[in-house]
Structure 1
Amino acid sequence: MRKFAALARACEAVVESFGVVASWSSLAIVLVMAFNVLLRYAFSTGSVAMQELEWHLMAPIALLGMSYAILKDGHVRVDVVFGRMPPRYQETVDTVTHLLVLTMAVIMVLLAIPYVEQSYSIGEKSPDPGGLTHRFLLKSLIPLGFALLGLQALAAALRAILKLLGRHAD
């Protein structure tokens, strides 16, 4: 059981570090958007590259942040129903849902890898004049984000199983 707890902690440490990247991306996107608004309304100008940078920054927020949300228990759940369940049922529901998320994450990683490989092979970039190059780098976040989601789902499932068995993972 200690190995389960140690594995859960290791997975969560990895997810935590990528959560920091997602957090800094949030600050960066706010600054880029503010700069774009300033350019548009104060100087009547804009940049395709700067507009694309907004969604290039949104990708790490979403893809790296989804696993972080599970780590911090900030994901969406029907708490009206879940909160009224006995703790044992809550842990059972958590175990099953996290194992389902783990399965889905593995499938998404497997499906995303050829997609990213194709993007790398053609050197994908923005089709818009003045757009950003190296779009294939951004697409690499897709399998990474789902791999992190799988790691966190595994960690959360292990913690829920330990609670079901009457042990604490900490």
Structure 2
Amino acid sequence: MNTMLKIVGKILDALGNFCSLLMVLMILNVFYDVVMRYFFNDVSIAMQELEWHLFAAMFMFGIAYTLKEDAHVRVDIFYDNMQARNKAFINIFGSLFLALPITLLILYYSWDYTFDAYEMGEGSGDPGGLPHRWIVRSVIPLSSVFLMLAIFHVVLSQIQVLIAAKKPTEEQ
């Protein structure tokens, strides 16, 4: 179980690093776009669209990394005062019965959504916009796969917490 946690953890850490790279690219893109617009009066529709494509990818991939790092939004008023064992049960329940079903639903519907864009050769509706809209749409099912990995990581790590919490009572 430890080996599996390490492997999945490294994949999700690499995803987090990728999100950092997307953020840097987005900042550079916005900087370029602002300089070109306000200093040279030149607007690029493709660069503006690339901004939201990069933001969408950073946000969608960042969800899995955030879950793995336990940095997501939660009502900490009650959670912080709980014992580790109770926290583990809540995390497992939330992962398996709340996060996983919606992730599977998103994966199921986004697959056709992406494939339809690819088959149609969908591109930007704006002249000078980005072609191949399926690329940004493919982020949705791909991020769902990464989110399932993160859910798997959370469940395994919380099982380890439950096992660790059980050991001292067995020895007494």
Q: 2:114 aligns with which of 108, 116, 136?
A: 116
Displacement of 1:29 after TM fit? 0.5
In 1, Cα distance between the equivalents of 2:117 and 2:8? Answer: 29
Look up the SS of the partner of 2:14 in the other structure: helix
Q: 1:156 aligns with which of 151, 154, 157?
A: 154
In 2, Cα distance between the equivalents of 1:143 and 1:8? Answer: 23
Q: 1:144 aligns with which of 126, 142, 145?
A: 142
The corresponding residue for 1:129 is 127
In 1, Cα distance between the equivalents of 2:118 and 2:125? Answer: 15
Please say if 1:75 is aligned against 2:72: yes
TM-score, with structure 1 as normaliser: 0.90
Displacement of 1:65 after TM fit? 0.8
For the aligned residues, what is the CA RMSD?
A: 1.4
Contact 2:45 2:129 in 1 (8 A): yes
Contact 2:84 2:161 in 1 (8 A): no
The residue identity in structure 2 corresponding to 1:151 is L
In 1, Cα distance between the equivalents of 2:139 and 2:12? Answer: 14
Unaligned runs of 5+ in 2: 166-172
Contact 1:63 1:145 in 2 (8 A): yes
Contact 2:12 2:64 in 1 (8 A): yes
Displacement of 1:73 after TM fit? 2.0
The residue identity in structure 2 corresponding to 1:72 is E
Per-residue CA deviation, residues 104-154 of structure 1 (Å, 9 max, x unaligned), is: 212211111111111110111101000011111111111000110111011
Please say if 1:27 is aligned against 2:18: no
Q: Which of the pair has the greater relative contact order for Cα pairs under 8 Å at 6+ separation?
A: 1
In 2, Cα distance between the equivalents of 1:24 and 1:10? Answer: 21
Which consecutive segments of 4 or more residues in structure 1 shift more than 4 A?
none
The corresponding residue for 2:92 is 95
Contact 1:102 1:154 in 2 (8 A): no
Query: Whose radius of gyration is greater, 1 or 2?
Result: 2
Contact 2:124 2:130 in 1 (8 A): yes
Look up the SS of the partner of 1:85 in the other structure: coil
Q: How does 1:47-86 map to 2 (within 5 A)?
A: 47-86=44-83
The residue identity in structure 1 corresponding to 2:8 is C
In 1, Cα distance between the equivalents of 2:10 and 2:109? Answer: 26
Aligned length: 164
In 1, Cα distance between the equivalents of 2:104 and 2:4? Answer: 18
Unaligned runs of 5+ in 1: none
In 2, Cα distance between the equivalents of 1:85 and 1:157? Answer: 18
TM-score, with structure 2 as normaliser: 0.89
